[in-house]
Amino acid sequence: MKSGWLLSLAVTTLFAPLSSAAPSCKCLSFQPCWPSSSSFSQLASQLSQPLINPIPPASACYPPFNPSSGGCLAVQSHLHDDAWRTNLPGAMISINFESYTFENGTIDACYYNVLSGVPCHQGSIPVIGVDARSVSDIQAAVNFAAKGYLRLVVRNTGHDYSGRSAARGAFMLWTHNLKDITYEDAFIPSGAPPNSQSYKALTLGAGVQWVEAYKAADEHGRTVVGGACPSVGVVGGWVQGGGHSVLSPSYGLGVDNAIQFTVVLASGEYVTANDYQNQDLFWALRGGGGGTFGVVVSVTYRTHDILPVTTHSVQVTFLTPTIAENVTTELFSALPVLQDAHWGGGFILTKAGVNGLYFSQNDSPAQATWSSFVTRAIAAGGVVVTHDQNYPSFYQGYLAAYSSENILGGVPTEIVSRFLSRTIAEQQPGQVATVALGLAHPLVFMSAGGGAVSQVDPDSVAVHPAWRQSLGVMESVISWVEGTSTAAINDERKVAAADLQSMDTVSLNSGTYLNEASLYEPNFQQAFFGSHYPRLKAIKGTYDPNDLFIVAKGVGSEDWDHTLNCRVGNSS
């Protein structure tokens, strides 16, 4: 694989540091403070690639483009193709974040539904940006944004349920093409003393996606803990927010497997963060949230031995509400034993039934628990269909389970979520079942707790301490038809808020996984970070004192207005 950005490792302080005091508001593309064309030309002269001008993907279907051209046909045929969308700097997986809603409720967007009769506008897609291929490209972009105090967004794939990688009038740093992958049999973190522990480790560039990382690990006879969706990035929000995986009950969260980060700071300095260098930054990057402390250039993960896996799929149809309660109670009762035996996966639960998929590397004693659940589900009146399949490795099982790209994109989507308390599930599984079946929307449950996750010191990394006492994440998802009015969307959000209140009753201190959560959390500091928030805020102040990096519901965002463009108490 290419190693272009590795050649830039020695480049660390090419540019001047930030000034001691930043303006009160960010500079946006439609304001007089926006850099001149000559300034952008000077920036372009420092880069390895031309500047990019992200556009709404659907713009190919509007004048001056020909609506019947191949460009528009391609857009429409790939609307729900995540892999296609992640290769476009102007596309988000959840397309509602391509739009912008004004204070009066009107929406600025470029709708894929060309029959809506609404003109195509830029929405929340940044107008210009840097296609980073090296450390020096990132430094040039960061220092340019810092000098003009531009609204900066860092984007890889556009997988983001909080829209953190898009912003109206912003300047984009696109890391998608940093695809370097390196495997080492005896990796030693930088700065480690002699005779320090070495790791069989995989170092991945900021643009690498999980389908690429899994393949690389398997080619070297190893397994790496990663996300379920093939096109999610390995370096950005996934790991910096915690990173849950079907392998988490076996090996922990993504942050528990991260050994080292390389980062470009707001000052333009290029640093390494691990247990021996910049330890406070290393702690913060493991759960403190993406786009907050700097631009992560690479992450190094420990890898694990390849073991055979079994996939266990189950579909249960509920014929009556009583059957639904009984079967769902049995399911939640089984989860602690299954996950402590390293079963990971998840299910979707509705009032009509449950559809689940689990991976296991060790069938005993969990297989007996699984068989018992199936037997009890049948005895309770559920119509049960199961299928087990053996594979020589996780990678082979993963390819079979996710043989095509997840269809997540092309739909306006928002999520509310809570951790499920292990204690409540063990002691009151019936209460959990009642809450789950009472939600207005289907419950999506990620079984990414217990087992190895519960054995990690809650304070060793920045991720919410409640992860360690939870079985996983309960999620309720809302979506709507493109072009729906702001008033109608807000009505949907009220329904989701009621679901969230119900989840609170079976959660631990109302904590949740920040990457799959609500933009409307009343106390995001507690919900996303818990007791770790004060320390994270202090570290943020050390490494980014002028808030060059600021994202929705991220550390320090409470100091900014709801647009994240002006500090609280100031106006644009």
Expressed in percent and rounded to 5, the helix, strand and coil fractions of the chain are 35, 20, 45
Peptide bond into 365 cis (omega under 30): yes
One-letter identity of residue 294: G
Q: Tens digits of per-residue pLDDT, 490-521? A: 999 999 999 999 999 999 888 999 999 999 99
User: Which segments within 351-500 are labelled E, that is strand?
Assistant: 353-360, 383-391, 413-421, 443-447, 470-479
One-letter identity of residue 35: P
SS3 222: strand
Residue 328: pLDDT band by 50, 70, 90 thresholds? very high
SS3 58: helix
Residue 408: pLDDT band by 50, 70, 90 thresholds? low
User: Regarding beta strands 353-360 and 171-174, do their DSSP bridges make them parallel or antiparallel, or are they unpaired?
Assistant: unpaired
Residues 107, 101 contacting (CB under 8 angstroms): yes
Q: Tens digits of per-residue pLDDT, 342-375? A: 999 999 999 999 999 999 987 677 899 999 999 9
Distance CA 160, CA 94 (A): 7
Residue 7: pLDDT over 50: no
292, 258, 256: which is closest to 274 by C-alpha?
A: 258
Distance CA 156, CA 87 (A): 9
Q: pTM higher than 0.75 for the full model?
A: yes
Distance CA 477, CA 441 (A): 7
CA atoms within 13 A on the CB side of 219: 12
Domains of the chain: 37-174 (3.30.43.10), 181-306 (3.30.465.10), 309-530 (3.40.462.20)
SS3 204: strand
Rounded to 5 degrees, φ, ψ at 19 are -70, 165
Residue 67: pLDDT band by 50, 70, 90 thresholds? low
Residue 156: pLDDT over 60: yes
Strand partners, 174: 131, 155
Distance CA 60, CA 56 (A): 8
Strand partners, 364: none
pLDDT score at 197: 94
Q: Tens digits of per-residue pLDDT, 80-102? A: 999 999 999 999 999 999 999 99
Tokens of 301: 């993960």
One-letter identity of residue 112: Y
Residues 145, 152 contacting (CB under 8 angstroms): yes
Tokens of 133: 């291929």
379, 418, 384, 398: which is closest to 510 by C-alpha?
A: 418
Distance CA 405, CA 310 (A): 21
Residues 223, 303 contacting (CB under 8 angstroms): yes
Reported as type and span, the H/E element at residue 338 is: helix 321-340
Q: Tens digits of per-residue pLDDT, 188-209? A: 999 999 999 999 999 999 999 9
Q: Any idea what the Cα angle at residue 9 is, between residues 242 and 297, rounded to 5°?
A: 25
Distance CA 451, CA 339 (A): 6
Distance CA 440, CA 296 (A): 38
Residue range 287-310: average pLDDT? 97
pLDDT score at 533: 98
SS3 304: strand
Distance CA 2, CA 463 (A): 32
Tokens of 406: 């997840």
Distance CA 309, CA 340 (A): 16
SS3 395: helix
SS3 for 235-279 is CCHHHHCCCCCCCHHHHCCHHHHEEEEEEECCCCCEEEECCCCCH
374, 310, 312: which is closest to 346 by C-alpha?
A: 312
Q: For the chain, give the mean pLDDT.
A: 92
Residue with tokens 């590795």: 6
